[in-house]
Amino acid sequence: MMVSRVVVSLIALLLVSGCMPRAASVTKDPKRPIVEQALRTPMVSHTEKGSLWNNAGSRLFTDPKASRVGDLVTVLVQEKASATRSMGTKKDRATSHTSGVNAAFGLSTSLFSKRNPNFSPGTAFDVSNTKSFAGSGSTNNSDTLIASVTAVVVEVYPNGNLRIEGRRQVTINQQPQELTFSGVVRPQDIASDNTIASSKVAQAVISYGGGGELATVTHEGWLGQTLDAIWPF
């Protein structure tokens, strides 16, 4: 009696917990401390001998473009990719084998001829086989991503190129959507309004995804995935 009560209580607890709303999980970016450190990097002043100006001052005669660690630059993401692939396979195979028997186990084949008038010793064994296989498949994929994200300069290379990293997360109705971007840019490719197209970013790594209840219900459960993996048919 006690066992049945415990089982009923556990089932009721699972049902109640399943009806509770789930809060949207916030994705943790392992690179975020690097970006925060770059934003807090103090501006180093290098005073030239015989000059009243230093490199850390305001740039009066140059465009306010990103050039130092901690500076911001807006990346205009315009990515479009399409791929088409088709494949066909055709396989044919035919075999034929004919052999005769004049005697078997010390017995003449004439004994078989008497019982079966259609028996021919020259074609006692006549085997033929024909096999064919044909298959074809094609895939067509097209993706488009248009967005903008403001990135932070996290490193300046000796040749002057800038390594940037950016992250933007928007949560609507407990559905988080996140866009991350990283890559290497040349200062001369940055426009006068401090923007740069994603097509001009080297080693660009763009990631866009989301989570929440909508992403959960659109994915197959672990049991279904396991059955699909081991199902032989």
Q: Does 133 lie in the same domain as 144?
A: no
Looking at the structure, tell me whether residues 147 and 194 fall in a common domain.
Answer: yes
| % pLDDT > 90, the chain | 21
- 209 & 101 share domain: no
149 and 111 in a common domain: no
Q: What value does the mean pLDDT of the chain take?
A: 74
Residue 155 lies in a domain: yes
H helices of 162-218, where?
213-217
122 within domain boundaries: yes
CB 206 within 8 A of CB 78: no
174 shares a domain with 152: yes
Please compute, for residue 8, the number of CA atoms within 13 A of its CA located in the half-sphere on the CB side.
5
Mean pLDDT of 204-221: 73
Q: Is residue 161 part of a domain?
A: yes
pLDDT of residue 1: 55
38 vs 220, higher pLDDT: 220
Task: Compute the average pLDDT of residues 72-88.
Answer: 87
What value does the mean pLDDT take over residues 20-35? 51
Q: Which residue range(s) make up the domain with 74? A: 28-41+63-82+140-220
Same domain, 176 and 100: no
Q: Is the dihedral of CA 192, 198, 199, 204 positive or negative?
A: positive
Same domain, 125 and 144: no
pLDDT reading at 14 higher than 50: yes
In this prediction, residue 87 carries a pLDDT of: 82
Contact 182, 35 (CB under 8 A): no
Instruction: Count Cβ atoms below 10 Å from residue 41 Cβ, excluding itself.
Output: 13
Number of domains in the chain: 2
Same domain assignment for residues 113 and 209 = no
Assess whether 132 and 169 both reside in one domain. Answer: no
Cβ atoms of residues 75 and 164 within 8 Å: yes
Is 23 contained in some domain? Answer: no
Q: Is residue 15 part of a domain?
A: no
Residue 216 sits in the same domain as residue 173: yes
Whether 105 and 67 share a structural domain: no
In a domain, 225, yes or no: no
Is the overall model pTM greater than 0.75, yes or no? no
